Amino acid sequence: MKYLLTLEELILFGASVFLFSLVTELSWVFYAGLFFVPDIAFLGYAINPKTGAIFYNFMHHKGVWLFITLAGYFAEIEWLLGIGIVFVGHSAFDRVFGYGLKYFDDFHNTHLGIIGNKST
């Protein structure tokens, strides 16, 4: 099952790249420049794990970015459409490597399982 979920996320990441080139005329610099912006949410962990998880989960929730993508599409706001596509792609990319949505207790505890080796 793990490999099937990874494949699904890899396909979604590829689809975001394809869709970005298909429906926007934005520069690839736009895509590359925004790709890691959702990771700024890690700063919430400087406050505490719960705040970090809330920020991280918001910035990596595909539903949020699908809504933004659709809003950009229907409102014909190309930069908003682009941001939504890039961030959906980022979320899928993270999940390919096992970084799922976080539980409040620990950064390493995700909906995809435990990240890394917690015994050390």
pLDDT in tens, 54-102: 999 999 999 999 999 999 999 999 999 999 999 999 999 999 998 888 9
Position 64 in a domain: yes
Whether 52 is covered by a domain: the verdict is yes
pLDDT tens string 95-113: 999 888 899 988 788 787 6
Residue 107: inside a domain:
yes
Domain assignment of residue 56, yes or no: yes
pLDDT in tens, 28-63: 999 999 999 999 999 999 999 999 999 999 999 999
Which residues neighbour 40 within 8 Å (Cβ) at sequence distance 6 or greater?
59
Task: Return the closest-CA partner of residue 35 out of 87, 84, 82.
Answer: 87
pTM over 0.85: yes
Q: Is residue 6 part of a domain?
A: yes
Tell whether 119 is covered by a domain.
no
Give the CA distances from residue 29 to residues 15, 57, 68, 107, in Å, rounded to whole numbers and listed in that order.
Answer: 18, 25, 20, 30
The boundaries of the domain holding residue 50 are: 2-114
Give the number of domains in the chain.
Answer: 1
Residue 120: inside a domain, yes or no?
A: no
